[in-house]
Structure 1
Amino acid sequence: MRGWCVEAGSELAELIDRFAREDGVHATPIARVFLIRASRPTMPLHVLHRPAVCFVAQGRKQVMVGEGIYVYDKAQYLVVSVDVPVVGQILKANPRSPYLCLRLDLDPAILGALLLESGLRAGDSRQSGPALGLSATTAELLDAATRLLRLLAAPRDIAILAPLVEREILYRLLVGQQAARLRQVAFADSRLQQVNRAIGWIKRNFARPFSIDVVAAEACMSPSALHQHFKSITAMSPLQYQKQLRLQDARRLILSEAADAATAGRAVGYDSPSQFSREYGRLFGAPPRRDIARLKATPDLAFGL
């Protein structure tokens, strides 16, 4: 079985290499499936990670959330259950053996339907835990992920077969070690989904001041319960989450739309340029001008891995 796993893992890497020829994040004709390639290690990258499962076929990556550090390679898969700001870094990659990853974004409706059809227990929706989790990649998961990417070579089969293979992958996740985390994604009354409603509100309104009472009402939770579960899941408070979104969007405005630092700061809700510059430097390791110069000098730092 081990020899078969090595062979299947090699095929998955070959498929990603074939359909993602340049460094970056590549959408595919298969809904919710993205291929990621990097030809060398990167500096730490600040990104908002979507709910997804990630299978590394080659190389090694590290993701940090709060004090949590998750290092994974082809032996483990990563599950992310809510939109969460992370610091990601490719640790092992080179031009001859690039970092290669398959990302499948999670669809709560498909997860919920699978739970209902399969009769699997939903678990205790009152519990909450970190948004990220790692587990060993099984032979069955690796096989399904490989078959999913084979469909890229047969476009006419994608519409019929890709949903079937996606359901297989999600089913195997729902009966695996990350079952509790995945099952909470599916149900609207879970603690995770209550926090997810708060996250959605903050994402839509991050440039505006807000009170915790308003966000708690959106989540249908008390302020104290929201603060407790929000921090348990995202490793930060709602206000810290808002700050990360503000600073990441300001960075995007400066890098992609050539906004100056003062304009970008105002656009994301900062009244004080000095406070904006100070908090920007604290998060990204340098004030806006130096940080953007570094990103432009090293383009691979600018794309979300």
Structure 2
Amino acid sequence: MLNQISYFQKELADLVYRHTHMEGYQPTQIPCLGLSRYSTAHYSSLAGPSRGLYNPSLCIVVQGSKDIILGGERLKGGPSNYIVSSIDLPIIFEAMESSPEVPNLYCKIEFTPSLILELLSAEEFKVTGKRTSKRGVNVAELDVSMLDAVVRLVRLLDKPADIPFLAPLFTKEILYKTLQGDYGDSLRRIVTDGSPTIHIRNTIQHMTNNFQNPFRIEDLADVAKMSIPSFHRHFKEVTAMSPIQFQKQLRLQEARRLILSGSMNVADASFHVGYESHTQFSREYSRTFGFPPREDVKRLKLINDASVDI
């Protein structure tokens, strides 16, 4: 079994490396599939206020490592893991061990809610996953069956004519294995009528679209169709943060992106994302990212050679 896993891991690493022609995230001819290569230590944000509704996804750490920072928690992913994301959260990824000789390689597969619902609605579908979690992102153990299916999907990049016919089949197989695996329940909840996760997902989208504006907890609870105590409990179960912490992360990550891209200076970015006090912005930025804004951006540009995906 270990020999099989090692064989598939090597083949997948070769495929991802060959089909990534530059640093960072790259879409492919397969609509649901994206590949990433990083030859230096890097930081990246999964979510951003400018994005639309996020599709659930599976990310394979093909080579290297990926630390997931969610609120105050840090989850570690490596080549023996896959990452299941069910909801758009202000997550930061870090990978500090990388080099041109042994780059970090990732493979991301997105699933539409309609495809999830299609599989769950099948009369023959039986749930076998043992572990449950209400969190919007989880790290699970990768097995040879899942790895085999992912390799077959990525192999299609070498045979573009086969993509329209086989990619949907392989994607459905990978989703089936994800739903049946550890934390598959986190994907099932986002299409289950009446599930608190659906209501929290709607609230998250509302907050993401209006992150610059102040909000009242009563209004957010109304969007979620919950009482205030129930809303607080379910929101933290899914996001690992309070609503205020969540909004703060959205604001800080968007400000960081704007500053690093050169779109705005520090003062303009802090005002744009909703801060009225530059001092408060700098203090909260330093607390979140470990460095004041200007020092942080200078450091990231040096680390990433100005190619950070953030």
TM-score by length of 1: 0.91
Deviation at 1:178, TM superposition (A): 2.0
- CA shift, 1:179, in A, is 2.2
Distance apart, 1:227 and its partner CA: 1.0
Residue 181 of structure 1 deviates from its aligned partner by: 1.5
Is the 1:48–1:83 contact (alpha carbons within 8 Å) kept by the matching residues of 2? Answer: yes
Q: In structure 2, what is the Cα distance between the partners aligned to 1:175 and 1:122?
A: 6
What residue is the counterpart of 1:148 in the other structure? Answer: 153
Cα deviation for residue 13 of structure 1 reads 0.7
Q: Which residue of 2 aligns with 1:17?
A: 17
5+ residue gaps, structure 2: 49-53
Distance 1:256 1:210, change over 3 A: same
Give 1:283 shift: 1.5
- Secondary structure of 1:88's counterpart equals strand
Correspondent of 1:253 among 258, 265, 269: 258
Q: Does structure 2 conserve the Cα–Cα contact (< 8 Å) formed by 1:254 and 1:261? A: yes
**Matched residues in 2 for 1:217 and 1:302: separation?**
41
For residue 12 of structure 2, what is the amino acid of its counterpart?
Answer: L
Please report how far the alpha carbon of residue 302 of structure 1 lies from its aligned counterpart in structure 2 after TM superposition.
5.5
Partner of 1:100: 105
Superposed displacement of residue 92, structure 1: 3.4
Aligned to 1:33: 33
Measured after TM superposition, the shift of residue 88 of structure 1 is 1.8
**Would the aligned equivalents of 2:41 and 2:304 in 1 still touch at CA under 8 Å?**
no
The aligned residue for residue 216 of structure 1 is 221
Q: Secondary structure at the match of 1:298?
A: helix
**Structure 1: distance between partners of 2:219 and 2:124:** 37
Q: Residues 46-65 of structure 1 correspond to what in structure 2 (within 5 A)?
A: 46-48=45-47, 51-65=56-70
Corresponding residue of 1:136: 141
| Equivalent residue in structure 2 for 1:296, among 294, 297, 301 | 301
Taking the aligned partners of 1:147 and 1:47, their CA distance within structure 2 comes to: 26
Residue identity matched to 1:85: P
| Residue 78 in structure 1 maps to residue 83 in structure 2 | yes
Aligned identity (percent) is 37
Selected match of 1:276 from 281, 302, 306: 281
Structure 1 contact 20–26 (Cα < 8 Å) conserved: yes
1:261 is displaced (CA, Å) by 1.8
Residue 139 of structure 1: CA displacement? 1.2
8 Å contact 2:202–2:224 — kept in the other structure? yes
- Runs of 4+ displaced beyond 6 Å: none
CA contact (8 A) 1:58 1:73 kept: yes
Number of residue pairs matched by the alignment: 301
Tell me whether 1:120 sits opposite 2:125 in the alignment.
yes
Q: Answer with 290-299 or 272-281: which moved more.
A: 290-299
SS in 1 for 2:92: strand
Matched residues in 2 for 1:129 and 1:102: separation?
24
Which residue of 1 is the match for residue 267 of structure 2? Answer: 262
SS of structure 2 residue aligned to 1:89? strand
Partner Cα separation in structure 1 for residue 252 and residue 193 of structure 2: 29
1:171–1:231 distance in 2 versus 1, CA, 3 Å: same
The answer to whether residue 190 in structure 2 is matched with residue 185 in structure 1 is yes
TM-score scaled to structure 2, two decimals? Answer: 0.89
Task: Give, in whole Å, the separation in 2 of the partners of 1:120 and 1:192.
Answer: 21
Residues of 2 paired with 1:122 and 1:184: CA distance?
Answer: 13
Mark the CA change 1:212 to 1:205 in structure 2 (over 3 Å): closer, same or farther: same
Q: What is the alpha-carbon distance in structure 1 between the residues aligned to residue 193 and residue 250 of structure 2?
A: 24
Structure 1 Cα separation of the partners of residues 31 and 305 of structure 2: 25
CA offset at residue 172 of structure 1? 0.9
- Using the TM superposition, give the Cα deviation of residue 47 of structure 1 relative to its aligned residue in structure 2, in angstroms: 4.2
Q: 1:165 aligns with which of 162, 170, 173?
A: 170
User: In 2, distance between residues paired with 1:112 and 1:214?
Assistant: 29
2:233 equivalent in structure 1: 228
Q: Which moved more, 1:168-177 or 1:184-193?
A: 184-193
CA distance in 1, matches of 2:25, 2:264: 24
- TM-superposed CA distance for 1:165, in Å, is 0.6
